Amino acid sequence: MHEGAIAAAIVQGALEALEREGLSSARSLTVLIGRLHSVVPDVLQDHYRLLKRERPPLRRSRLLIEIAPVRIACRACLREATIERPEFACPACGSTQIDVIGGREMHLKEIIGVRPTADGRRQKKKSESNSKSQIPNPK
């Protein structure tokens, strides 16, 4: 259910990015998802595969999922660190006065697609375009 909502948000974000970039179809999407979202990549892939079938511009695209680590900033020693489990203490000094600064991100990092030619004919050589965009917050 969780992954389904995220997949739907990725599809929406990708379609918007294609339109903004003037691309007719996508070949690959790279999404960056913070670990605190607890996404299971295989489940997200299954949802994406189902959804993209109904979206011609995305039908032949591959979804690449990058998981961003949980990052904290310690208010006591001012260091920043990556933590493996959300134990919410600074690994350097043990302080619990920390701010979580990474792990909640979710955005479309890259989209590679096909740009139609000006005369509308099918282009032999594919051009690529990268764009960054936020994935709308899944409800």
Note the residues at the interface with Zn ion (CB under 5 A). 74, 76-77, 90, 92-93, 95
Give me the amino acid identity at 63: L
Residue nearer to Zn ion on the CB measure, 64 or 92:
92
Nearest approach in angstroms of CB 35 to Zn ion is: 20
Nearest approach in angstroms of CB 97 to Zn ion is: 8
Residue nearer to Zn ion on the CB measure, 5 or 76:
76
User: For the purposes of burial, counting CB atoms within 10 Å of the CB of 35, is it exposed (0-12), middle (13-18) or buried (19 or more)?
Assistant: buried
Structural tokens at position 89 = 């203490």
Helix (H) or strand (E) holding 105: none
Residue nearer to Zn ion on the CB measure, 97 or 127:
97
Give me the amino acid identity at 70: V
Q: How far apart are CA 43 and CA 99, in angstroms?
A: 30
Residue nearer to Zn ion on the CB measure, 15 or 93:
93
For the residues of 5-65, what is the DSSP string, one character each?
HHHHHHHHHHHHHHHHHT-SEEEEEEEEEEGGG---HHHHHHHHHHHHTT-GGGTT-EEEE
Residue nearer to Zn ion on the CB measure, 22 or 88:
88
Nearest approach in angstroms of CB 36 to Zn ion is: 20
Nearest approach in angstroms of CB 88 to Zn ion is: 12
Nearest approach in angstroms of CB 102 to Zn ion is: 16
